[in-house]
Structure 1
Amino acid sequence: MTEIVLRDIDELLLDRIRRVADRRGWTLAHALHHLLEQGLYAVEGEGPMGFDTSEADVLQAAIAALEGVPDDVFSLIGQVPDATPRQGEPL
């Protein structure tokens, strides 16, 4: 594995890395490796995001189906039809 040397690292940053390593029970090298990898995932994910054609078609179909649902249907969620007790029946 390639060795990487960090020079002139800020003490505050080094302290934060040490705290992560201590909390997780990792060596400093393992913590640095993990943080570098996760940081790369986060930065790589900042690029433009979008759907491919098949995903966009499925999403559009789902939106169209939801648009066809009557407005009052959601107000009925959790309600029991004919929940009014009849005379003489316990509540």
Structure 2
Amino acid sequence: MTDIVLKDADPVLVDRIKRVADTRGWTMPRALQYLLEQGLHVYEGDGAVRFDNSEADVLQAAIAALEQVPDDPGYAAIGRVAKTDES
């Protein structure tokens, strides 16, 4: 595997990479590899956000739970569009 070397990198960028590595418990080389891979996926792809299966399942479960909130004049109406006679 090729070593990843950053020369003359902005100190703020280096600090951000270190924070990602520390948060995830990664070494700096692992963090750089991951960030480069993810960045390339964004630029090579169509830019659409994709969830892995577990993330998609959790999101669907959360949406389903919110859809089960009973109608009331307060909380349950948030984000809902009132039905009209035409709907």
Give the structure-1-normalised TM-score: 0.49
User: Greater relative contact order (Cα 8 A, min sep 6): structure 1 or 2?
Assistant: 2
For residue 14 of structure 2, what is the aligned residue in structure 1? 14
Do 2:4 and 2:32's aligned partners in 1 also have CA atoms closer than 8 Å? no
For residue 34 of structure 2, what is the aligned residue in structure 1? 34
For residue 3 of structure 1, what is the aligned residue in structure 2? 3
SS of the residue corresponding to residue 43 of structure 1 reads helix
| Structure 1 segments of 4+ aligned residues over 4 angstroms from their partners | none
Cα distance, 1:3 vs structure 2? 1.6
- Corresponding residue pairs, total: 48
Question: What does residue range 28-67 of structure 1 map to in structure 2 within 5 Å?
Answer: 28-46=28-46
For residue 51 of structure 1, what is the aligned residue in structure 2? none
Give the Cα–Cα distance (whole angstroms) in 2 for the partners of residues 6 and 43 of structure 1: 20
Give the Cα–Cα distance (whole angstroms) in 2 for the partners of residues 14 and 25 of structure 1: 16
**Letter paired with 1:45:** G
Give the Cα–Cα distance (whole angstroms) in 1 for the partners of residues 20 and 45 of structure 2: 23
Q: Which runs of 5+ in 1 are unaligned?
A: 48-74, 76-91
Cα distance, 1:6 vs structure 2? 1.1
- Percent of aligned positions that are identical: 65
Describe the superposition over 1:13-64 as per-residue Cα deviations: whole angstroms up to 9, x where unpaired. Answer: 00000000000000011000000000000010148xxxxxxxxxxxxxxxxx
Aligned CA-pair RMSD: 1.6
Do 2:21 and 2:31's aligned partners in 1 also have CA atoms closer than 8 Å? yes
Q: Which runs of 5+ in 2 are unaligned?
A: 48-86
State which structure, 1 or 2, has the greater radius of gyration over its C-alpha atoms. 1
**Letter paired with 2:4:** I
